[in-house]
Amino acid sequence: LAKTTQPISMDSYEGQEVNITCSHNNIATNDYITWYQQFPSQGPRFIIQGYKTKVTNEVASLFIPADRKSSTLSLPRVSLSDTAVYYCLVPTSGTYKYIFGTGTRLKVLA
Amino acid sequence: EAQVTQNPRYLITVTGKKLTVTCSQNMNHEYMSWYRQDPGLGLRQIYYSMNVEVTDKGDVPEGYKVSRKEKRNFPLILESPSPNQTSLYFCASSSAGFQPQHFGDGTRLSIL
């Protein structure tokens, strides 16, 4: 059974880069890793997705090492509005049954 | 506007009284899924559906039923709700199983 773990919480200051890592022990070669942001009383919102090396979009980057046992979400120059809980999401190997990470509560300070 | 719509948003009910939470998406998505979110346990998948008439169990399917008779709808059925099903429920959809999922705004269920 896939298991995904993340740091419980992180604090950062505005303007800093934040890196959040997710450890996943059982995903297949072509399985995608997806990251979401969640604010209180809202559904998770898609941030970025990838399955190897590095992916970048307008809000974040995703780094996936060769062994694919972890992935790192990078948020450049965070602002107060980035205060939220961040989750990784991975499929159980070979299926579309999904496992969320334990979630990382990011607090951005002024 | 592309969206996943859940109803009701809030419900307080009693043990054993059958209830259905509806989920509808307007994006012609093939994949749909239900999750529950609990403090300390995070988000866990209940059921998912790859397409019409194709459903499968997630991590915590006990006590729940689903159906996928039409592409846009994926209702979650609690035949005999119990207090341990008190939770925040999210429906999600994506164009294919590996694509990013769009989530609804959630349904908060309280079973007394």
Kindly report, residue by residue over A58-85, the tens digit of the pLDDT: 999 999 999 989 999 999 999 999 999 9
Report phi then psi at B85, rounded to 5: -100, 5
| Inter-residue contact B52 to B70 (CB < 8 Å) | yes
Is the model more confident about A67 or about A1? Answer: A67
Contacts of residue A4 in chain B, CB cutoff 8 Å? none
Task: Name A89's bridge partners.
Answer: A34, A100
Sign of the CA dihedral A20, A25, A27, A29? positive
Q: Which residue has the tokens 């059982």?
A: A26
The interface residues of chain A toward chain B in range 41-70, judged by CB-CB distance below 8 A, are: 41-46, 49
Distances in Å between the alpha carbon of B10 and those of A106, B76, B110?
27, 14, 8
Kindly report, residue by residue over B72-93, the tens digit of the pLDDT: 999 999 999 999 999 999 999 9
